[in-house]
């Protein structure tokens, strides 16, 4: 069906003063023959919106192109129903606020953006949501410790049928076996009774379906339709659930490896959990006890990371000793006391109770007549210390996530011909540890991809619970080392995420970060060569494959990043409103001045998540940069298809710049691997460019975060200056 297009140019916010609006209208009316093209002094005002609505009503307009402010603002104002296409041409943040008013080049820029917007809408269709069959709204929580119980309770309280799976015979996990717990409420100074019994009762009362002594044999499917096979002694059960919270916790670090601290040598050198057991049985009468912090943690030979909870756990146990015997001498040997947040009060409380904190490294532990002696380097005094007569030495032996316990999955060697024929370099596959927790029936492996130290990969800053398997949310100490207060918050947070997931999946929308997006990748299978690019590169394991190697997409697992689209050498993957031809045509819509006009052109592919906001911010702050640039937003740099760069260079662009998020271990990429993949692809194209006699420096990738907005002008101007040195793209002549 032919689209009914209308273009609205806003002249407010100074746009009318800075640009020649008539000329701009001519682009729409003349070049593109758009039937309706109107201007308004304030399009976002009630009259402006009414004007658009009127045309929709009276003239059956279904495609609205608004030339004015950035799509990042007023999106709620310009909302005309999901059956309409709304395209925004950013004349404000990216044109008039950062380029000279009343200027030939600024005007050319605005007109190009108008052309790009019009071409874009031509290549777009209204997305139809994907609906899961036999959809389930149930939430499954894996692990019945503090985090899991909290998650299950929150989910049940919110009205979702909840299933809890615990591998031990009793609920409660590590915390359940404690004598007392660290404070969880203000003033954060006093020991508290163990909260687990009450929590278990609340979970039972809330009607959570509980499987004890149970493990997950396998997990198949996708959000809204996970089929989980649960194994108990007496056989297996299958449950269909919509989303999963992984809260399988951590294990104490193996104390047997801590022989240098006397463990295994002297019976009274014990671990935190052993001390906890003793306390449950009745804290031993002791007149001198030492706690040794970071026993194994923050140690390159053992656990390189901080286990986060052991400082306050030792403080708690020190108070057990004081509780029993006020006169007891209690020492804590530490590197740094990491009593985060409110636990600073707890630390101070222990100090006030007379627990002595010694900043120092323990060098040796010896024993005589059952009493222990600790030799240490006292860091604040710069001396060695020798304290003796200890009844017990307790090692704060840290924690290892259950996700890290298992063998690393072997990378399968590709013998596939089609794959071998595809000569692009490959991104590294993420490490997957066979930890026997989820046993996913995914082509990409049975567990969650890990980032570092075996903790599941997640976008740590922006959405920590989202793992790289959509619909599965990691929480508590399996996700990152943390204290109890954080674990409770995590449990609740992950439960909310799981709920959000089933809700949006039911509507056919994407989860974070493209919330609300209803488009999903569609495959034109006749042309698929089974190269496996898409199945391998999808950061979220959304694409399985059949026996013949054909991709089998799972749209509800998909985050709609477009990485598969960028990866596919045959260019057979596209979205209803985002495709390789769409962007390609936008590139082609940009007018290319003749070489002698001395107006270079720079094409920028900027990631929607951080780079575009940063560019907008630069505009908001009225920072000026050269007006040779033409910016095309991408869902993620991962969706970058190399053909666009070919197109651009062929059309005579003097340079192409990719702006995406930081990658590496501390990546910022909202789709985890997108920006890294884009750079890998880019490394490929530079050879080709060189072969064509085009300097590969003309095509570059850079990383920006939203905080870098103030560096953007310099970044762009520098690139322009470099290009000027290289001279114009020789391909211009062939146009």
Q: What is the contact surface with ligand SF4 in residues (CB under 6 A)?
A: 293-294, 297-298, 306-308, 310-311, 335-336, 338, 396, 398, 521, 538, 540, 542-543, 553, 558-564
Q: Which partner from the list other proteins, ligand SF4, none does 642 bind, CB cut-off 5 to 8 Å by kind? A: none
Is the CB of 31 or the CB of 378 nearer to other proteins?
378
Tell me the three state secondary structure of residue 317.
Answer: helix
* Closest approach of ligand SF4 to the CB of residue 583, in Å: 15
Structure tokens at 662: 């930081």
* Closest approach of ligand SF4 to the CB of residue 720, in Å: 33
Is the CB of 155 or the CB of 339 nearer to other proteins?
339
Is the CB of 136 or the CB of 535 nearer to ligand SF4?
535
Q: Which partner from the list other proteins, ligand SF4, none does 383 bind, CB cut-off 5 to 8 Å by kind? A: other proteins
* Closest approach of ligand SF4 to the CB of residue 237, in Å: 31
Q: Given the rule CB under 8 A, which of 168-176, 207-215, 252-260, 384-392 is the region that contacts other proteins? A: 384-392
CB atoms within 10 A of CB 613: 20
* Closest approach of ligand SF4 to the CB of residue 606, in Å: 18
Structure-token match 């269709």, residue found: 125
Is the CB of 258 or the CB of 542 nearer to ligand SF4?
542
Is the CB of 194 or the CB of 325 nearer to other proteins?
325
Q: Which partner from the list other proteins, ligand SF4, none does 398 bind, CB cut-off 5 to 8 Å by kind? A: ligand SF4
CB atoms within 10 A of CB 675: 31
Q: For strands 243-246 and 5-10, give the pairing.
A: unpaired
Going residue by residue from 52 to 71, which x/- string records binding to other proteins, judged by CB under 8 A? --------------------
Q: Which DSSP helix (H) or strand (E) runs through 544?
A: strand 543-545
Is the CB of 168 or the CB of 377 nearer to other proteins?
377
Q: Which partner from the list ligand SF4, other proteins, none does 245 bind, CB cut-off 5 to 8 Å by kind? A: none
Residue among 325, 385, 429, 626 that touches other proteins (CB under 8 A): 385
Contact 717, 622 (CB under 8 A): no
- Alpha carbon distance 641, 633 (integer Å): 13
* Closest approach of ligand SF4 to the CB of residue 540, in Å: 4
The torsion angles phi and psi of 165, rounded to 5 degrees, stand at -115, 125
Q: What is the DSSP letter of 474?
A: E
Tell me the three state secondary structure of residue 45.
Answer: coil
Q: Which partner from the list ligand SF4, other proteins, none does 308 bind, CB cut-off 5 to 8 Å by kind? A: ligand SF4
Contact 484, 182 (CB under 8 A): yes
Q: Which partner from the list other proteins, ligand SF4, none does 717 bind, CB cut-off 5 to 8 Å by kind? A: none
* Closest approach of other proteins to the CB of residue 316, in Å: 18
What is each CA distance from 567 to 422, 427, 663, 699, in whole angstroms?
Answer: 11, 11, 18, 18
Structure-token match 């066979």, residue found: 434
Is the CB of 299 or the CB of 724 nearer to ligand SF4?
299
Contact 127, 519 (CB under 8 A): yes
Q: Which partner from the list ligand SF4, other proteins, none does 358 bind, CB cut-off 5 to 8 Å by kind? A: other proteins
> Pick from 506, 509, 511: which is nearest to 496 by CA?
511
Q: For strands 226-232 and 215-220, give the pairing.
A: antiparallel
* Closest approach of other proteins to the CB of residue 358, in Å: 7
- Alpha carbon distance 496, 476 (integer Å): 14
* Closest approach of ligand SF4 to the CB of residue 672, in Å: 10
Is the CB of 377 or the CB of 717 nearer to other proteins?
377
Is the CB of 385 or the CB of 686 nearer to other proteins?
385
Residues 322-381 that bind other proteins (CB under 8 A): 329, 331, 337, 347-348, 351-352, 354, 356-359, 375, 378, 380-381
Is the CB of 357 or the CB of 442 nearer to other proteins?
357
Q: Which partner from the list ligand SF4, other proteins, none does 357 bind, CB cut-off 5 to 8 Å by kind? A: other proteins
Contact 403, 455 (CB under 8 A): yes
| Cα atoms in the Cβ-side hemisphere of radius 13 Å centred on 243 | 30
> Pick from 728, 711, 507, 722: which is nearest to 597 by CA?
728
Is the CB of 384 or the CB of 683 nearer to other proteins?
384
Q: Which partner from the list ligand SF4, other proteins, none does 502 bind, CB cut-off 5 to 8 Å by kind? A: none
* Closest approach of other proteins to the CB of residue 174, in Å: 28
Total chain residues near other proteins (CB under 8 A): 23
Q: Which DSSP helix (H) or strand (E) runs through 383?
A: strand 383-390
Q: Which partner from the list ligand SF4, other proteins, none does 274 bind, CB cut-off 5 to 8 Å by kind? A: none
Is the CB of 378 or the CB of 722 nearer to other proteins?
378
* Closest approach of ligand SF4 to the CB of residue 457, in Å: 14
Burial of 382 from C-beta contacts in 10 A (0-12 / 13-18 / 19+) = exposed
> Pick from 202, 200, 229, 199: which is nearest to 214 by CA?
229
* Closest approach of other proteins to the CB of residue 262, in Å: 18
Q: Which partner from the list ligand SF4, other proteins, none does 733 bind, CB cut-off 5 to 8 Å by kind? A: none
392 binds other proteins (CB under 8 A): no
Contact 2, 85 (CB under 8 A): no
What is each CA distance from 636 to 94, 213, 605, 668, in whole angstroms?
Answer: 19, 43, 9, 12
Structure tokens at 397: 């032996």
Is the CB of 159 or the CB of 382 nearer to other proteins?
382
Is the CB of 306 or the CB of 643 nearer to other proteins?
306
Structure-token match 């985002």, residue found: 578
* Closest approach of other proteins to the CB of residue 333, in Å: 10
Q: How many Å separate Cα 393 from the centre of its chain?
A: 41
The helices-and-strands tally (H runs, E runs) of the chain is: 19, 33
* Closest approach of ligand SF4 to the CB of residue 518, in Å: 13
* Closest approach of ligand SF4 to the CB of residue 661, in Å: 15
Tell me the three state secondary structure of residue 25.
Answer: helix
Burial of 645 from C-beta contacts in 10 A (0-12 / 13-18 / 19+) = buried
Q: Given the rule CB under 8 A, which of 386-394, 458-466, 681-689, 702-710 is the region that contacts other proteins? A: 386-394
Burial of 659 from C-beta contacts in 10 A (0-12 / 13-18 / 19+) = buried
Q: Which DSSP helix (H) or strand (E) runs through 349?
A: helix 343-352
- Alpha carbon distance 708, 661 (integer Å): 11
Is the CB of 273 or the CB of 342 nearer to other proteins?
342
- Alpha carbon distance 297, 305 (integer Å): 6
Q: Which partner from the list ligand SF4, other proteins, none does 310 bind, CB cut-off 5 to 8 Å by kind? A: ligand SF4
Contact 166, 214 (CB under 8 A): yes
Residue among 152, 312, 318, 387 that touches other proteins (CB under 8 A): 387
Binding site for other proteins (CB under 8 A): 329, 331, 337, 347-348, 351-352, 354, 356-359, 375, 378, 380-388
């Amino acid at each position: 069906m032919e689209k009914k297009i209308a273009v609205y140019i806003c002249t407010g916010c100074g746009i009318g003063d800075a640009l020649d609006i008539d000329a701009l209208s001519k682009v729409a009316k003349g070049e593109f023959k758009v039937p309706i093209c109107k201007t308004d002094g304030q399009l976002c005002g009630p009259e402006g919106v009414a004007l658009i609505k009127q045309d929709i009503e009276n003239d059956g307009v279904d495609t609205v192109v608004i030339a004015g402010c950035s799509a990042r603002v007023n999106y709620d104002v310009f909302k005309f129903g999901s059956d309409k296409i709304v395209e925004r041409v950013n004349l404000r943040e990216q044109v008039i606020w950062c380029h000279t008013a009343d200027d030939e080049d600024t005007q050319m820029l605005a007109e190009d953006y108008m052309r790009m917007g019009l071409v874009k809408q031509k290549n777009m269709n209204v997305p139809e949501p994907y609906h899961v069959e036999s959809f389930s709204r149930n939430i499954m929580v894996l692990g019945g410790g503090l985090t899991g119980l909290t998650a299950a309770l929150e989910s049940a309280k919110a009205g979702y049928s909840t299933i809890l799976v615990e591998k031990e015979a009793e609920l409660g996990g590590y915390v359940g076996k404690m004598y007392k717990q660290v404070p969880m409420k203000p003033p954060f100074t006093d020991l508290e009774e163990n909260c687990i019994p009450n929590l278990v009762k609340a979970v039972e009362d809330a009607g959570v379906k509980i499987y004890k002594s149970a493990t997950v044999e396998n997990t198949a499917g996708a959000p809204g339709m996970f089929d989980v096979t649960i194994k108990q002694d007496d056989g297996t059960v299958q449950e269909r659930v919509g989303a999963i919270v992984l809260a399988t916790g951590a294990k104490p670090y193996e104390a047997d490896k801590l022989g240098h601290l006397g463990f295994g040598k002297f019976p009274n050198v014990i671990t935190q959990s052993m001390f906890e057991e003793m306390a449950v049985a009745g804290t031993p009468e002791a007149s001198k006890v030492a706690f040794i912090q970071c026993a194994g943690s923050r140690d390159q030979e053992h656990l390189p990371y901080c286990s986060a909870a052991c400082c306050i756990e030792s403080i708690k146990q020190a108070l057990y000793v004081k509780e029993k015997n006020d006169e007891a001498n209690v020492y804590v040997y530490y590197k740094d006391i990491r009593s985060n947040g409110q636990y600073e009060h707890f630390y101070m409380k222990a100090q006030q109770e007379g627990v002595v904190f010694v900043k120092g490294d323990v060098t040796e532990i010896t024993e005589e007549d059952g009493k222990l002696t600790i030799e240490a380097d006292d860091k604040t005094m710069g001396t060695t210390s020798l304290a003796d007569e200890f009844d017990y030495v307790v090692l704060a032996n840290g924690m290892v996530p259950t996700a890290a316990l298992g063998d690393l999955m072997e990378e399968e060697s590709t013998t596939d011909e089609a794959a071998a024929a595809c000569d692009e370099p490959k991104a590294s596959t993420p490490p997957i540890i066979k930890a026997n927790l989820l046993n996913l029936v995914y082509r990409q492996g049975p567990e969650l991809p890990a980032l570092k130290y075996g903790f599941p990969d997640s976008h740590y800053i922006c959405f920590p619970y989202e793992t790289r398997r959509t619909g599965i949310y990691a929480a508590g100490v399996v996700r990152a080392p943390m204290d109890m207060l954080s674990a409770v918050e995590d449990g609740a947070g992950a439960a909310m995420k799981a709920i959000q997931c089933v809700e949006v999946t039911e509507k056919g929308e994407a989860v974070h970060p493209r919330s609300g997006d209803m488009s999903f990748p569609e495959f034109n299978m006749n042309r698929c060569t089974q190269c496996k690019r898409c199945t391998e590169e999808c950061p979220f394991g959304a694409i399985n494959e059949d026996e013949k190697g054909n991709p089998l997409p799972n749209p509800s697992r998909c985050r709609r990043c477009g990485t598969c689209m960028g990866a596919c050498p045959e260019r057979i993957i596209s979205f209803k409103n985002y495709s390789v031809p769409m962007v390609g045509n936008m590139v082609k819509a940009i007018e290319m001045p003749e070489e002698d006009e001395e107006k270079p052109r720079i094409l920028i592919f900027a990631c929607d998540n951080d780079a575009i906001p940063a560019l907008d911010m630069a505009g908001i702050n009225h920072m000026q940069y050269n007006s040779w640039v033409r910016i095309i937003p991408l869902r993620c740099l991962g969706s970058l298809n190399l053909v666009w760069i070919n197109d651009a260079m062929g059309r005579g662009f003097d340079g192409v710049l990719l702006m995406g998020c930081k990658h590496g271990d501390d990546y910022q990429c909202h789709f985890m691997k997108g920006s890294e993949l884009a750079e890998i692809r880019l490394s490929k194209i530079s050879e080709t460019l060189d072969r064509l006699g085009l300097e590969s420096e003309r095509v570059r990738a850079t990383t920006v975060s939203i905080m870098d907005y103030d560096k953007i002008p310099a970044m762009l101007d520098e690139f322009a200056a470099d290009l000027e040195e290289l001279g114009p793209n020789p391909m211009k002549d062939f146009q």
